[in-house]
A and B are shown apart, each in its own frame.
Chain A
Amino acid sequence: MFKALTQFLLFSLVSILLAVFQFSFISALPAWGQNLYPGVIVIVFIIFFIDLLPALYFILAFGFFLDILSFQFFGVYTLTLTAAALVVYFILKNFLTNRSLYSFLAVMFIFIFIYNFLLAIISFIFLSGSFILGDISFWSSLGWQFFWGGLSAIIFFSPLIFWFKKFKPFFLEKKRLV
């Protein structure tokens, strides 16, 4: 009981700190830095190395704090992060069963793409926004997000593999022909 409560409090604290960090610090950086999304990266890590349910708990907390701080439609961040997490988990369980760095990178890129795509659709349909999918700056921003996500994946994959000791292959295993 005490351990569960401690984990819950720690979880909430990490969520709110990450949300504030995303909201205030990241937004003040130059353009190339503003596309770093630590919250998204953490969510993908949790889905890949642990499971969907802890990721959804994290999204609920992180998204809630982000929705409070921002002036967007309340729930938009929680909703889009949840939807992206569910899609990515489905792909991971059914198609990317070989848990290598390549599948991790694929999961990262798919999550980032779906998250941004959903935000663009919601903005266009419900928030009277412009059709940003036709805007070059949207795709440029997406490119930077892929860069940061990919870099984080490459840097942290090995230490996490060592820590979790769940996934053996670093790269795809090569089958011996003889």
Chain B
Amino acid sequence: MMKLQRKNPLFILLAIFLLIIILHWIGALQPVERFIFKSIRPLSNDLYLWGTSISASYDERTQKEELLEKIESLETQLKDLAIDKALYQEVLSENEKLRKHLNFVDNNNFTTVLAHVIAQEGLFTTAERRDLVIDKGRQAGLSEGLAVISDGGIVIGKIIAVEEESARVCLTTTPGCQLAVSLQNETQTQGLSDGRLGLTIAMDFIPQLEKIAISDVVVTSGLSSEIPRGLVLGKVTEVKSESNEVWQSATIEPLLNFNNLTIVSVVLP
């Protein structure tokens, strides 16, 4: 045995590597993996917070000029919103009366699980392919397909993979991260949202007859069994509609910056 070690250490290492792979796939390494993950979770959380604070201070310096422009535009919007608020109050009052009459159940009390973001994950460091890793998993009752929201109740993505003590979340701006959504317009247009380049969200294959306006709010449609209805994704910022095309598409801007998320909630069905 010692001779073999002296002569063929590479084969020994290869054998160890293959053994680890086999043990992982048959599940024999799970207790070890869970113990390791639980042990490093506090350190992982602190390191991620440290990294995001560096990232946030770097972003602040570069975004100052953009912020000044945005302030001017927001002041204009504020005036328009005052009128909208008055109309909203009327609609809300009517809605409450109707609910009492029809005895609807209030669907806004969701059951959530709080989780910390401990890493951004991806084989390559390209902006459009960064998923988040959170420190809750199957043990906390999570499963694939559940919606993940920010502290303001805005949908940031959904769970795409679950381990015992962790889960992977795709952001709504990631290509391939699709959600069943609907627009808050006259016809409650329904469709599928998908990420674009890690920056925005797109809603394609909308029939030409549907009327979509800039600033229409996009929410989850509830057609997916795991994700409840009414969770806000973002607002429409651009509509691409050609008269000779069958479909039109909308670009949706998320309502918050995903770069500095540290605490999220998972909505349980």
Which residues of A are at the interface with B, using a C-beta cutoff of 8 A?
16, 20-21, 23-31, 33-35, 53, 56-57, 60, 64-65, 67-72, 74-76, 78-79, 82, 116, 119-120, 123, 127, 129, 132, 135, 137-138, 141
Contact call B124/A20, Cβ cutoff below 8 A? no
Q: Which residues of A contact B28 (CB under 8 A)?
A: none
B267 interfacial by beta-carbon distance below 8 Å = no
Contact call B124/A26, Cβ cutoff below 8 A? no
Q: Contacting chain A: which of B50-58, B231-239, B244-252?
A: B50-58
Closest A-chain residue to B10, C-beta based?
A56
Q: Which residues of A contact B16 (CB under 8 A)?
A: 60
A79 to B17, CA, bound (A): 9
Contact call B119/A69, Cβ cutoff below 8 A? yes
Contact call B47/A30, Cβ cutoff below 8 A? no
Contact call B55/A29, Cβ cutoff below 8 A? yes
A112 to B125, CA, bound (A): 14
- Besides A25-B51, A34-B120, 4 new A-B residue pairs in contact (Cβ under 8 A), listed by A number: A20-B40, A23-B118, A24-B43, A119-B123
Contact call A16/B40, Cβ cutoff below 8 A? yes
User: Of A24, A31, A64, A74, which is within 8 A of B127 by CB?
Assistant: A31
Instruction: Using known A-B contacts A71-B168, A78-B17, determine if residue A141 contacts B51 with beta carbons closer than 8 Å.
Output: no
Instruction: Using known A-B contacts A24-B51, A27-B120, A71-B133, determine if residue A137 contacts B13 with beta carbons closer than 8 Å.
Output: no
Contact call B36/A27, Cβ cutoff below 8 A? no
**6 pairs of A and B residues whose beta carbons are closest in the complex:** A28-B51, A25-B47, A24-B47, A137-B126, A27-B120, A24-B44
Contact call A141/B47, Cβ cutoff below 8 A? no
A31 to B55, CA, bound (A): 9
Instruction: Using known A-B contacts A24-B48, A71-B163, determine if residue A141 contacts B123 with beta carbons closer than 8 Å.
Output: no
Instruction: Using known A-B contacts A27-B51, A30-B55, A64-B20, determine if residue A71 contacts B126 with beta carbons closer than 8 Å.
Output: no
Name, among A24, A57, A127, A129, the residue most crowded by chain B CB atoms within 10 Å (CB to CB): A24
B59 interfacial by beta-carbon distance below 8 Å = yes
Instruction: Using known A-B contacts A64-B20, A65-B36, A68-B33, determine if residue A34 contacts B59 with beta carbons closer than 8 Å.
Output: no
22 residue pairs A–B, Cβ–Cβ below 8 Å: A16-B36, A23-B44, A23-B118, A24-B119, A25-B50, A27-B130, A28-B52, A30-B59, A33-B51, A56-B13, A57-B13, A60-B13, A60-B16, A69-B44, A69-B119, A71-B163, A72-B121, A74-B24, A75-B20, A75-B21, A123-B124, A138-B124
Q: Which residues of B contact A138 (CB under 8 A)?
A: 124, 126
B37 interfacial by beta-carbon distance below 8 Å = yes
- Chain A nearest CB from B88 CB (Å) reads 38
Q: When each residue 102-123 of chain B gets 1 if its CB lies under 8 Å from chain A and 0 otherwise, what string results?
A: 0000000000000000111101
A160 to B182, CA, bound (A): 61
Contact call B125/A35, Cβ cutoff below 8 A? yes
Q: When each residue 146-178 of chain B gets 1 if its CB lies under 8 Å from chain A and 0 otherwise, what string results?
A: 000000000000000101001010000000000
- Chain B nearest CB from A54 CB (Å) reads 10
Q: Which residues of A contact B161 (CB under 8 A)?
A: 71
Closest B-chain residue to A127, C-beta based?
B123
Contact call A75/B50, Cβ cutoff below 8 A? no
B207 interfacial by beta-carbon distance below 8 Å = no
A30 to B125, CA, bound (A): 10
Contact call B124/A28, Cβ cutoff below 8 A? no
Q: Which residues of A contact B44 (CB under 8 A)?
A: 20, 23-24, 69
- Chain A nearest CB from B207 CB (Å) reads 29
Contact call A31/B125, Cβ cutoff below 8 A? yes
- Chain B nearest CB from A31 CB (Å) reads 7
